[in-house]
């Protein structure tokens, strides 16, 4: 079922509306107005390729954070030797 994004021309409120076969007409949840404009929305793409790219990017970020933490820990140990 498609989810549409609308902007109320009356109050300017933007909202999403799930369109089901038995759905009533969309109305603004803020002011109950029905003078609505459909907003162009982004779409999401999900595939094995995009999931792999996202996972690889996350792993790369995590490795960078670990390197920075290890460097900070080593620097701390150099500046604060144990007695």
Higher pLDDT, 21 or 66: 66
Residue whose tokens read 């793409």: 45
What value does the mean pLDDT of the chain take? 89
pLDDT tens across 40-65, in order? 876 667 788 888 998 999 999 999 99
As separate numbers, helices (DSSP H) first and strands (DSSP E) second, the chain gives: 1, 3
Continuous segment of H or E residues that includes residue 3: strand 3-8
Give pTM, 2 decimals: 0.47
């Amino acid at each position: 079922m498609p989810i549409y994004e609308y902007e109320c021309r009356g109050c300017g409120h933007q909202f999403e509306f799930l369109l089901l076969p038995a759905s009533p007409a969309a109305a603004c949840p803020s002011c109950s107005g029905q003078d609505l404009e459909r907003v162009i929305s982004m779409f999401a793409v999900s595939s094995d390729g995009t999931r792999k790219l996202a996972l690889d990017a996350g792993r790369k970020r995590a490795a960078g954070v670990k390197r920075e933490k290890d460097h900070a820990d080593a620097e701390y140990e150099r500046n604060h030797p144990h007695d």
